[in-house]
Structure 1
Amino acid sequence: MRGSRELPLLWFLVLAAGGTEHVYGPGRRVCAMEVQGPASESFVQRVYQPFLTTCAGHRACSTYRTIYRTAYRRSPGLAPAGPRYACCPGWKRTGGLPGACEAAICQPPCRNGGHCAQPGRCRCPAGWKGDTCQTDVDECSTGGAGCPQRCVNTAGSYSCQCWEGQSLSADGTLCLPKGGASRMAPDPTGADAVVQEEVRRLQSRVDALEQVTLLLGLPRAEESRAWSPPHVLSHRPLYQSQALLVQ
């Protein structure tokens, strides 16, 4: 336990004493950059050092002696000061240490909920596109909405609507009559309108036939099951006249 407690303290002392540039080297998204600083040069400096000594008559005298030591002075220009490690261009730190360069930089920044996945490249959410996710995707024009009748494009999304008198089903795939429970999905090509018109035309013919049947005293369609074959044959000329009337 004692060793595990001392390990973080030792790590902190290493960082404080040597700096992070001695711990981290070039790696993934970490680059080494040369840093230049003021240049200096060495020279021999003469120094006069005073001291006390004994003179004639046993008196204390003050004198000096000359010594030489190495000194440093700044010279014109700059000199390399050693490498420094930082995040490579397009990346930034995600933590306190310089080795954690995991956050990409996008300029200008991503919009509308976009995420900067690579330097200068945004990853857009559904409904948006463009370099910075600034352009709305028109799902209605691309045909990807799948609405049964009407498609209304909105910013970053879309909505499905039905014609008057109908409402959208819970799953958004059908338009149902508001007063009924029909599960028929209208055909966007217009084929349903043709079928409905044909049904109305046939229904009007059936109504006309029933009126002729009543005028001639013939059995109705629901009574046709009780007819015997001779009875049907005896009314054959009447059916021919009925067909002529309908046409």
Structure 2
Amino acid sequence: MASTWGAVTVGPTVPSAYLDNRVPDDASYGLELHVPMAAACRAWLDGRPNRSVVYVSFGSLVTLTTAQMAQLTEGLCGGAMPCFLWVVRASETATLPEGFAERARAQGRGLVVEWSPQLEVLAHPAIGCFLTHCGWNSTTEALGAGVPMVAMPQWSDQTMNAKYIEDVWRVGVRVRANEEDELITKEELQRCLREVMEDDDGEYAHNAASWSRKAKCAMSQGGSSDRNIMEFLAKFGHNK
């Protein structure tokens, strides 16, 4: 890209508090589409062992069908599956089975919230896996935090991001839908979550930690992104 049309690559563009800590008080993007239930998420995660929780979020735009939500709820609550923290926007709660959120919390199986402080959640030691739609922000945030992923892309660049997650970066796996009804079954979901959470040879956790180090190195003073942005600014007379 640089040699063909002069692109200057920078990033990941994640707040400094979750990368190099060079910018004081830079702990958020300064904009939230919804009000995050930060205190509830933090308190619930603090009571869980390290790497024991699946974080589930499909971003601000993805809308799953009622049939798909049913498969997810059954998959997340089935058998010996790990605990989960699931973001279900207020506009989507009607697609959950009646009383599901209350039962999951009462049984200690999981916490359902309408929005979460995602950066803080991904950085929490209790998180062992991120079930994600593979939006670019979510993908780079997980890489920066060193969290393995289960990819469930929906459209646009998400399928390409899922390809990188599974086959290039090797930090997770991608769920496969049935050809007949295009649903992700509860069995397929559980298979993928077990593969990533159990991670018998440690490949996903090792690779995720490696990419986290690379992200932090790139944004730190003297790193590739730091050098690129300084060289770009120098063209406009900025020399600091």
The interval holding the TM-score normalised by the smaller chain is: under 0.3
As a proportion of its length, which structure holds more strand? 1
Q: Which has the larger radius of gyration?
A: 1
TM-score under structure 1 length normalisation: 0.17
TM-score under structure 2 length normalisation: 0.17
